[in-house]
Amino acid sequence: MFADDTNVTVTATCFRELENLVNNELENIGLWLIANKLSLNQVKTEYVFVCSNHKAAQLTFLFRIRLGDDLIKRVKAAKSLGIHIDDYLSWLNHNDHIAKKTS
């Protein structure tokens, strides 16, 4: 059985709190996967940090998001349910993808 496009959304008022909440949630997910004898393809696992403030988004390089002992890769955009979502919630990546697909 395969489950694709699984998303977790976490919000917080400061970066440290956000990092802790995300890592705690991923720890819970890891335990759930083990309990249900499922595995996660960590090569395909990635996260998008969505932020409207360009200066704040630049600070996120300090984030250490982990699943177990492995760091999760940060990407600037990801596809979810057919929509390309970027880190500023603009439609540029999605529009570019659709334009390439239709031309």
Note whether residue 32 is domain-resident. yes
Q: Could you report the per-residue pLDDT of 12-40, keeping only the tens digit for each? A: 888 889 899 999 999 999 999 899 998 88
Q: What is the pLDDT of residue 3?
A: 61
Note whether residue 4 is domain-resident. no
Mean pLDDT for the stretch of residues 39-55: 81
| Residue partners of 79: CB distance under 8 A and separation at least 6 | 5, 85
pLDDT: which is higher, 57 or 100: 100
Query: Could you tell me the residue range of the domain that residue 82 belongs to?
Result: 15-102
Among 47, 37, 93, which Cα is nearest to 70's? 47
The structure tokens 């699943």 sit at: 67
Overall domain count for the chain: 1
Note whether residue 8 is domain-resident. no
Q: Could you report the per-residue pLDDT of 52-83, keeping only the tens digit for each? A: 776 666 666 678 898 888 889 988 888 888 88
Measured between alpha carbons, how far is residue 36 from residues 41, 53, 63 in Å? 15, 39, 29
Rounded to a whole number of angstroms, the distance between the first and last alpha carbons of the chain is 35
Q: What is the pLDDT of residue 55?
A: 63
Note whether residue 5 is domain-resident. no
Q: Are 85 and 78 in contact (CB under 8 A)?
A: yes
Residue 50 predicted with pLDDT over 90: no
Note whether residue 63 is domain-resident. yes
Neighbours of 47 (CB within 10 A): 19
Note whether residue 1 is domain-resident. no
